[in-house]
Amino acid sequence: MTARIIDGNALSAEVRGQLAERAAALKTKGITPCLAAILVGEDPASAVYVRNKVAACEKAGMRSIKDVYAVDVDPAVVFARIAELNADPSVHGILVQLPLPKHFDSAAVLESISPEKDVDGFHAENVGALMQGNPRFIPCTPYGVMKMLESANVPLKGAEVVIVGRSNIVGKPMAMLLLAQSCTVTICHSQSKDLAFHTRRADILVAAVGRAKMITGDMIKPGATVIDVGINRTAEGKLCGDVDFETAKEVAGVITPVPGGVGPMTITMLLANTLEAAERCAK
């Protein structure tokens, strides 16, 4: 059996088309959705992420602002800029690209963003709202995964879900969203004993670790849905996920590839959150 592939690029294009239509409708009311992105330092991966986010905004007919600061910038400068963006009614979404340099208190930076403009969904108020089942902004990567599961008609109610990784950005919010859909959720991490015991009983397996090809076909239940969030590079410099795609696709029922899977959906859902923020302002 070869698994059905969820094409993140194709789904992204479809959703972005719908978002562009909504952005155009909002413009007729005099509102152009606007995302402000703040980048500190010269980490090449972060620079590429911010560039892609800004470009995606422009392509969907949204406005973007990009502020880049030197790696040794005084955090007070960044806090002052966030306060300015919080107060600017023409800005609907604000994101600070992580990771920040060590002299920053990252949690304090995230808390300084207005919860109404926190399109990454990382502010404690928004994390709490998600936990209570009443989200204001859903963190973009798990939001994208939910869209992918929906598009592939993967049954959720009562499904055994195993998530590998417990980060605030992916693993934990992913668990909350799937729990809200009545899945039975297990979260594994670096201290979990016998990882394969857990992964082998998953109807839906989400890998969000950051270790190339660590989930192999023999760790997957036949017919399972496998969502690969990981972004890694092989020794040859090629992009790959946390799942060993070649062996996994022979066992899984549905699978997401890397690249071209969850990655494009993450940016798409950032656009969705920015648009939703702007639409709320129009009400």
User: Which residues does the annotation mark as catalytic?
Assistant: 53, 97, 120
Q: Tell which residue, 126, 244, 202, has the closest CA to residue 188.
A: 202
**184-188 and 232-233 beta bridge pairing:** unpaired
The amino acid sitting at 51 is R
Nearest CA to 12 among 112, 193, 140? 140
Nearest-approach distance from CB 49 to ligand NDP, in angstroms: 9
Q: DSSP strand E in 70-219: where?
A: 93-96, 160-164, 184-188, 204-207
**Residues 94, 256: Cα–Cα separation, whole Å:** 29
Shortest distance, position 98 Cβ to ligand NDP, whole Å: 8
Q: Are strands 34-40 and 93-96 parallel, antiparallel or unpaired?
A: parallel
> Whole-number minimum distance, CB 195 to ligand NDP, in Å?
5
Hey, what are 270's tokens? 């950032």
Output 141 or 225, the one with its CB closest to ligand NDP: 141
Which is nearer to ligand NDP, 193 or 283 (by Cβ)? 193
> At 65, is the secondary structure helix, strand, or coil?
strand
Q: What is the dihedral of CA 150, 124, 132, 264, to 10 degrees?
A: 0
Of the two residues 23 and 229, which places its CB atom closer to ligand NDP in the complex?
229
> What is the closest distance, in whole angstroms, from the C-beta atom of residue 209 to ligand NDP in the complex?
4
State which residue, 30 or 44, has the beta carbon closest to ligand NDP: 44
Helix (H) / strand (E) element for 84: namely helix 75-87
Q: How far is the CB of 68 from ligand NDP (least distance, A)?
A: 21
- In the block, tokens 């668990």 appear at 175
**Toward ligand NDP, which CB reaches closer, 225 or 266?**
266
CA torsion sign for 56, 58, 60, 63 is: positive
How many Å apart are CA 91 and CA 106, to the nearest integer? 22
User: Given the rule CB under 6 A, which residues bind ligand NDP?
Assistant: 141, 164-167, 169-171, 188-192, 195, 208-211, 229-232, 262-263, 266
